[in-house]
Amino acid sequence: MPACHSYRTPIEHGANHTCHGPLVKDPISYRSLAGALKYLIFTRPDISYGVQQVCIFMHELQEQHLHALKRIIHYFQGTTDLGLQLYACSPATLVAYSDADWAGCPTTRRSTSCYCVFLGNNLLSWSSKRQLTPSRSSAEAE
Q: Are residues 6 and 54 in the same domain?
A: yes
Decide if 89 is inside a domain: no
Rounded Cα–Cα distance for residues 55 and 11 (Å)? 13
Mean pLDDT score, 61-70:
82
Rounded Cα–Cα distance for residues 6 and 108 (Å)? 29
The 10s digit of each residue's pLDDT in 106-133 is: 777 788 888 988 888 888 788 888 777 7
**Distances in Å between the alpha carbon of 97 and those of 10, 18, 56?**
22, 31, 26
Decide if 31 is inside a domain: yes
Of the segments 25-29, 32-36, 63-67, 81-85, which one has the largest average pLDDT value? 32-36
Domain containing residue 109? 94-141
pTM (two decimals): 0.56
Of the segments 19-28, 34-43, 133-142, which one has the largest average pLDDT value? 34-43
